[in-house]
Structure 1
Amino acid sequence: MTQPEQKPVIGFSCGDLNGIGIEIIIKTLIDSRLTELCTPVVFASNKSINFYKKSVSDGNFNYQAVRDFQRLSPKTVNVFSCWEDEVSITPGQLTDVGGSYAIISLTEAVKALKEKQIDALVTAPIHKKNVQSEAFPYTGHTPYLKAAFEANDVVMFMVAENIKVALVTEHIPVAEVAQHITREAIVSKLKLMNQSLKKDFGIDKPKIAVLGLNPHAGDEGLIGKEEEEIIKPAIKEAKQSDVFCFGPYSSDAFFARGQHEKFDAVLAMYHDQGLIPFKSLAIGEGVNYTAGLQGIRTSPDHGTAFDIAGKGKADESSIRAALFMAIDIFRSRNGYADARKNPLRKMSAAMLARAVDEKIEEE
């Protein structure tokens, strides 16, 4: 694995071949200054990269093809060749080909992450419909990564500079949400959030808000019993494990009144409850982070965008933010590990970074 003082090796899975994944990867990595911060590795094929390279008009995108991690160049983009097949790329079309090669890229990248050939992984969007198979029976990246790393639990953590939102339930029908809201699930997510905020984001004493499930957070049992019977006991139990958490809050008033600004993170009960306010408040800067894994995985907060695929119109802001976050978490984890080894060293990763910058300026 890359040593703490070295640049991290950051992998990119290409996502659906007919979506905007490769285009936004190229638009991000075309800035050669990024190789000063990391060594990029794109898991795809030369032909797929060259196909989308044509749609990126501003500047030249240079890369080297590799099949051996020992031959990675730290000075340019590396494309790890996952296949040599003649693949039909049809931008904007939902096809089995687009999904199957997205999974080839993803599985190769996750294998490299598990074997510590790369230090972090940025995943471009896949489409849930055309990746489903006996070999990939998952609803998305998060459950697949949980299984691949054999994690007891993980958290889908949506992160931006001004807001962090995690979910108890993810991609399940709304009609099934309530049956998945359990005391055990909430406590598990809160513990993972607390650990991630400390280890991955350098927050010494995270303060977490918990939303209710029902309108008005149940109105003390008048509109549903989940808050009184499940959520409040879960918050109490989490507090006994040194998780600094509060709630449950009514989700509409909570975000409307800007209460999220008083907390380091928010735990929402279901997908739209958390992601609608998150995407409204973190336009272009949102990152999907999987907390609870041994490896580091980030992703843009949007989908395949078939309607604009191949037209050179895709906005790379979110995947660029995902790249920067992967680098930051890599550094933060190293700083956290150092602090754990030396109890006298209590500086956060941000403080460590500032100290390094000041030292460089002095020199």
Structure 2
Amino acid sequence: MTKRPENIFVGISIGDLNGIGSEVILKSFEDTRMLELCTPIIFANVKILSFLKKQLELNVNLHGIDKIDQALVGKINVLNVWREGVNLELGKEDETVGKYAVKSFTSATQALKDGLVDVLVTAPISKSNIQSEEFSFPGHTDYLNQELEGDALMFMVQDNLRVGLFTDHVPINEVAKHLTEALIRKKIKTINQSLIQDFGITKPKIAVLGLNPHSGDNGVIGDEEEKVLKPALKKIFEEGTLVFGPYSADGFFGSGQYEKYDAVIATYHDQGLIPFKTLSFGKGVNYTAGLNKVRTSPDHGTGYDIAGKGIADHNSFTEAIYMAIDIYKSRIEYQEITAKPLKIKEKQL
């Protein structure tokens, strides 16, 4: 087929086939208006998805293809990454099924690298059953950071609430030693640039949370704020980035203080994700900022406990598709503006 600029190709990795990934993907495209926004290409096997579609009683038509150039606009394209059957036990964690999640994801990533799809949206995987000698990564983000250009950063987004992390999948007893000035600079730079090019915010304001209770209480409860965070943030602010803090994390979200900023950076995983998911669960999106390609995913996991029951909420996955498309378009606009600044200035005059 001839690809037109408006046909944004959305590559979709299937995730764990025993989880709710297939269900939320197919439910997202039950609304045929989605096909006016993009051309989906699901990396899986059309026979398996047809079986799951029938079992879940979903009203979607699937178009099986063997090459991406066979994809049709207006269709839900399923690229056959493998041909053999897979024994599924919905709701059960299975190492063999995990291998197919990896096949789907790595194939979709390669297509993203090759420019065969424009953006990537990933369904949830189980971090334990994907591990092997060939794939030894904690999750999607770490693999993408290796395969793509840039420095990956987990960025949780729902409307104007955006939460980034200095450390993500790090044991809590190791967080403090990871908080160096170099790391803080890198993460703030990544988030600041993402806010500008991906979300269209000209001069972002970023808040940073402290590591310790009450942000250390001036060194009484831990000294990471006094020795590392405050000096680093002061330097970065003086260099022109509007970064503020460190703030005491306990009341920051409950008081609505986060609404004054374009993004919030937490020092560790649960410090940022617990309030984020409390405020936005089911609508939030996990965006991998900092890379040269766009990847999003829903804010939930495999959902083994409800797999196959037809009750999974697809809204977060749908939002992940929307956001991937919006960021892709925003980047094109940003590149056009920054590529010809003199011409744009002349037009304004």
| CA shift digits 1:12-61 (9 cap, x unpaired) | 10001101001110000121111111110000001220121024335x21
Report SS of the residue matched to 1:253.
helix
Cα separation, 1, equivalents of 2:342 and 2:252: 38
**Alpha carbons 1:191, 1:238 under 8 Å: kept:** no
**Alpha carbons 1:162, 1:282 under 8 Å: kept:** no
The Cα of 1:247 is off from its aligned counterpart by 0.3
- If the length of structure 2 is used for normalisation, what is the TM-score? 0.95
**Alpha carbons 1:27, 1:56 under 8 Å: kept:** no
The Cα of 1:341 is off from its aligned counterpart by 2.0
**Alpha carbons 2:65, 2:78 under 8 Å: kept:** yes
| CA shift digits 1:89-138 (9 cap, x unpaired) | 11000111121100000000000000010000000000011011111111
Partner in structure 1 of residue 211 of structure 2: 213
**Does residue 136 of structure 1 match 2:141?**
no
Partner in structure 2 of residue 358 of structure 1: none
297, 311, 314: which is aligned to 2:312?
Answer: 314
179, 185, 202: which is aligned to 2:183?
Answer: 185
- If the length of structure 1 is used for normalisation, what is the TM-score? 0.91
**Does residue 168 of structure 1 match 2:173?**
no
Amino acid at match of 2:174: E
**Alpha carbons 1:210, 1:248 under 8 Å: kept:** yes
Partner in structure 2 of residue 28 of structure 1: 28
| CA shift digits 1:263-294 (9 cap, x unpaired) | 00000000000000000111211000000111
Cα separation, 1, equivalents of 2:47 and 2:238: 55
Partner in structure 1 of residue 242 of structure 2: 244
The Cα of 1:305 is off from its aligned counterpart by 0.5
**Alpha carbons 1:142, 1:156 under 8 Å: kept:** yes
**Alpha carbons 1:339, 1:345 under 8 Å: kept:** no
Amino acid at match of 2:304: F
* 1:54-73 correspondence to structure 2 within 5 Å: 54-57=54-57, 60-73=59-72
Partner in structure 2 of residue 359 of structure 1: none
Cα separation, 1, equivalents of 2:3 and 2:100: 32
**Alpha carbons 2:160, 2:262 under 8 Å: kept:** no
The Cα of 1:241 is off from its aligned counterpart by 4.1
Partner in structure 2 of residue 355 of structure 1: none
Report SS of the residue matched to 1:209.
strand
**Alpha carbons 1:4, 1:331 under 8 Å: kept:** no
**Alpha carbons 1:17, 1:102 under 8 Å: kept:** yes
Cα separation, 2, equivalents of 1:274 and 1:143: 19
Cα separation, 1, equivalents of 2:238 and 2:226: 18
Partner in structure 2 of residue 327 of structure 1: 325
Q: Flag structure 1 segments of 5+ consecutive residues without an equivalent.
A: 348-363
Cα separation, 1, equivalents of 2:190 and 2:230: 18
Cα separation, 2, equivalents of 1:20 and 1:112: 24
Cα separation, 2, equivalents of 1:61 and 1:160: 27
Amino acid at match of 1:166: G
Amino acid at match of 2:132: S
* 1:351-362 correspondence to structure 2 within 5 Å: none
Percent of aligned pairs with the same amino acid: 51
Cα separation, 1, equivalents of 2:286 and 2:3: 26
Partner in structure 2 of residue 235 of structure 1: 233
Cα separation, 1, equivalents of 2:110 and 2:72: 20
Q: Flag structure 2 segments of 5+ consecutive residues without an equivalent.
A: none
Partner in structure 2 of residue 356 of structure 1: none
Cα separation, 1, equivalents of 2:4 and 2:187: 28
Amino acid at match of 2:10: I
Count how many residue pairs are aligned between Structure 1 and Structure 2.
344
Cα separation, 1, equivalents of 2:344 and 2:137: 40
Partner in structure 1 of residue 44 of structure 2: 44
Partner in structure 2 of residue 100 of structure 1: 99
Amino acid at match of 1:13: S
**Alpha carbons 2:56, 2:308 under 8 Å: kept:** no
**Alpha carbons 1:4, 1:334 under 8 Å: kept:** no
**Alpha carbons 1:32, 1:76 under 8 Å: kept:** no
**Alpha carbons 1:93, 1:306 under 8 Å: kept:** yes
**Alpha carbons 1:45, 1:83 under 8 Å: kept:** yes
Report SS of the residue matched to 1:128.
coil
**Alpha carbons 1:44, 1:79 under 8 Å: kept:** yes
Cα separation, 1, equivalents of 2:315 and 2:153: 23
Amino acid at match of 1:74: V
**Alpha carbons 1:35, 1:76 under 8 Å: kept:** yes
